[in-house]
């Protein structure tokens, strides 16, 4: 199964590139890529803002993995735009499901990705992990053809609100596993 790793953010709240921050001796982007690979989510398409970021990230990601590096057509447009752009690619549209991920969830495990796949129903366009209090839409398992069609009606609403309006299911996941890092206090 393919995956899409969003790595094109500015990391404004953090003040430095989140993807390269080390957690337990490994860059966050490398930790997420490792979890995707262990869950069988290759090839991994990593969407970045600039060619320089592609080069920096490639230095910390295992070169033996099946990685497709892509540049966002509009730098820092946002995660929804990056998702729409990449899911519209024929390689993605031909897939039944695609795992979305983001670089700022360093504690994600392969088991979370596997649980999403095991839990999605045929009627769902998206399977969204949640801890029961907040949704983590940037770790959703999606059906690209259906979601691309639904995004035609997107009105700019926050992603989590939009996804709740289309056929979906939620998967309860331990908070620590899907916690995202936005600033130094999130560690």
Q: Which two tokens stand for residue 119?
A: 């839990």
Q: What is the pLDDT of residues 106-119, one digit of tens each?
A: 999 999 999 999 99
Q: What integer pLDDT is reported at residue 15 of this predicted model?
A: 66
Q: Could you tell me the residue range of the domain that residue 70 belongs to?
A: 3-186
Q: Which pLDDT band, with edges at 50, 70 and 90, does 64 fall under?
A: very high
Q: Which pLDDT band, with edges at 50, 70 and 90, does 12 fall under?
A: low
CB atoms within 10 A of CB 18: 24
3 in Cβ contact with 95 (< 8 Å): no
What is the 3-class SS of the chain, one letter each residue? CCEEEEECCCCCCCCCCHHHCEECCEEHHHHHHHHHHHCCCCCEEEEECCHHHHHHHHCCCCCCCCEEEEECCCCCCCHHHHHHHHHCCHHHHCCCCEEEEECCCCCCCHHHHHHHHHHCCCCCCEEEEECCCCECHHHCEECHHHHHHHHCCCCCCCHHHHHCCCCEEEEECCHHHHCCCCCHHHC
Count structural domains, the chain.
Answer: 1
Q: What integer pLDDT is reported at residue 181 of this predicted model?
A: 86
Q: What is the pLDDT of residues 130-156, one digit of tens each?
A: 999 999 999 999 999 999 999 998 888
Q: What is the CATH number of the domain that holds 104?
A: 3.90.550.10
Whether residue 171 is predicted with pLDDT greater than 90 in this model: the reply is yes
Q: Which pLDDT band, with edges at 50, 70 and 90, does 184 fall under?
A: confident
């Amino acid at each position: 199964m393919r995956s899409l790793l969003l790595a094109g953010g500015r990391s404004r709240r953090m003040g430095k590139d989140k993807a390269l921050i080390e957690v337990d001796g490994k860059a966050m982007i490398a930790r997420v890529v490792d979890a995707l690979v262990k869950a069988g989510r290759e090839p991994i398409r990593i969407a970045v803002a600039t060619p320089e970021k592609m080069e920096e990230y490639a230095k910390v990601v295992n070169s033996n993995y099946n990685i497709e590096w892509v540049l966002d057509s509009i730098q820092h447009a946002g995660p929804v735009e990056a998702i729409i752009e990449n899911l519209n690619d024929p390689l993605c549209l031909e897939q039944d499901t695609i795992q979305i991920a983001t670089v700022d969830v360093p504690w994600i495990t392969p088991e979370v990705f596997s649980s999403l796949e095991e839990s999605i129903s045929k009627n769902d366009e998206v399977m969204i992990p949640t801890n029961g209090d907040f949704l983590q839409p940037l770790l959703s398992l999606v059906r690209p053809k259906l979601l691309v069609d639904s995004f035609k009606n997107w009105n700019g609403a926050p992603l989590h609100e939009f996804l709740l309006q289309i056929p979906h299911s939620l998967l309860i996941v331990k908070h620590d596993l899907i916690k995202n890092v936005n600033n130094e206090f999130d560690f």
